[in-house]
Homo-oligomer: A and B are copies of this chain.
Amino acid sequence: VGGTTKRPTIADVADAAGVSKTTVSFAFNRPGRLAPATALRIHDVADSLGYRPHPVARMLANRRTRTIGILTPQTLSVIFENPHFAAFSAGVATAVQASGYGLQFISPVHGSLARGIGWATVDGVIVVGLSPRHREVEHVRRVGLPMVLVDSAAVPDQPSIQIDDVGGAQLAAEHLLSLGHRSVLILSFEPPEGCGGEADVVATRRLTGYQAGFRAAGLRLRDTWVLAAPSTIAGGAAAFHRSWEDGLRPTAVLAMSDAMAVGAMQAAREHGLAVPSDLSVVGFDDIELARFTDPSLTTVHQPIHRKGEQAVEWLIALIDGSRRSMAGERLATRLVVRSSTAPALAAPPRTERG
């Protein structure tokens, strides 16, 4: 129970075993190059001393950390509570683990992402939800850190995972319109904090898709029926309540995330509305929960898990310098019709007040 004795180093082991540091290093990293007996003895000595190679020193000498980072502008705590991000992280984690890499979450330190990056020991980063022209993205590029963009916008010469937000959103809108809905409330993401007024690219694309759907039906979106909220269950619920108090009486909701959609369904119930007979709801993402709500949620499926895996694969290719085909065909989205949508009532209430 030595307490705070100094941590043994490779030199201590070398001394105790009567060999050189090189030999000890070999015992751990290239056991094949050593006489079996020597290797064994060294490991015994190391164990008895409680020695293990110092990871940081190892990284410095190797000039690689075998760790990749996930970079987001949001606070870590909101991230884990966001089902979409959690699922994405799961995809990333799967690929990372398969490649024998470590995973680090990089978030703003004292509000500064740059500072966070400055302390992160990673070989490359996956950047989520940041515009390619964002300050911090430029920073990473200048620093020369390998990087893959996700949920961002496409720029040439910059690997980025694209998904078909516009197409998916359009399908969602068309579905609702074809069911006869004309009073549609749109629940949009709130622009992420600390983003310097930059419009959230994903929200913009999805809105564009909704618009396209409306236009195809000869209609157009009304600004009053677009509400921004945090992409959470509570956020969606609050937004729906707000719209109700403002006198809006939608027959359908188009939510940019499943979390918001679930919140809207919950809020609707509290106002005595039945889903889908009184109110249809369409989400986005197709998180696991969407199959398990009551009624199950009609939503736009995107390959969240795959998105994470592909980001890692590309990033590691970038790190290894093995420039593989990073041709950016965008990942497809598709509408999944479940039980939260139904035809609009014959005479949908069109009033905007009372």
A interface list, Cβ under 8 A from B? 2, 7, 50, 52-60, 65-67, 75-81, 86-87, 89-91, 93-94, 96-97, 100, 102-110, 116, 118-121, 142-144, 233-234, 237, 262-263, 266, 269, 288-289, 292-294
Give every chain B residue within 8 A of A58 (Cβ-Cβ).
119
> What is the bound-complex CA distance between A26 and B167, given in angstroms?
53
Contact B55 A75 (CB under 8 A): no
Contact A262 B75 (CB under 8 A): no
Give every chain B residue within 8 A of A87 (Cβ-Cβ).
80-81
For A77, give its contact among B7, B75, B97, B234 (CB under 8 Å).
Answer: B97
> What is the bound-complex CA distance between A103 and B294, given in angstroms?
36
Contact A102 B90 (CB under 8 A): no
For A107, give its contact among B54, B59, B60, B97 (CB under 8 Å).
Answer: B97
For A75, give its contact among B75, B91, B97 (CB under 8 Å).
Answer: B97
Q: Chain B CB within 10 Å — which of A2, A90, A116, A263 has the most?
A: A90
> What is the bound-complex CA distance between A121 and B57, given in angstroms?
10
For A104, give its contact among B100, B103, B108, B269 (CB under 8 Å).
Answer: B103
Give the oligomeric copy count. Answer: 2
For A144, give its contact among B7, B81, B89, B102 (CB under 8 Å).
Answer: B7
For A106, give its contact among B65, B102, B121 (CB under 8 Å).
Answer: B102
> What is the bound-complex CA distance between A211 and B108, given in angstroms?
47
Contact A118 B266 (CB under 8 A): no
Contact B76 A65 (CB under 8 A): no
Known: A52-B118, A56-B65, A100-B109. A269 touches B294 (CB 8 A): yes
Give every chain B residue within 8 A of A120 (Cβ-Cβ).
55, 102
Kindly report which residue of chain B lies nearest to residue A294, judged by CB atoms: B294
Give every chain B residue within 8 A of A80 (Cβ-Cβ).
80, 86-87, 89-90, 93
Contact B118 A53 (CB under 8 A): yes
Give every chain B residue within 8 A of A66 (Cβ-Cβ).
119
Tell me how far the C-beta of A65 lies from the nearest C-beta in chain B, rounded to whole angstroms: 7
Contact B76 A81 (CB under 8 A): no
Contact B90 A262 (CB under 8 A): no
22 A-B residue pairings within 8 Å (CB atoms): A7-B144, A53-B118, A56-B65, A57-B60, A58-B119, A60-B60, A75-B93, A76-B103, A77-B90, A77-B93, A77-B94, A80-B86, A81-B90, A86-B86, A93-B105, A97-B107, A100-B109, A100-B110, A104-B104, A233-B292, A237-B292, A266-B294
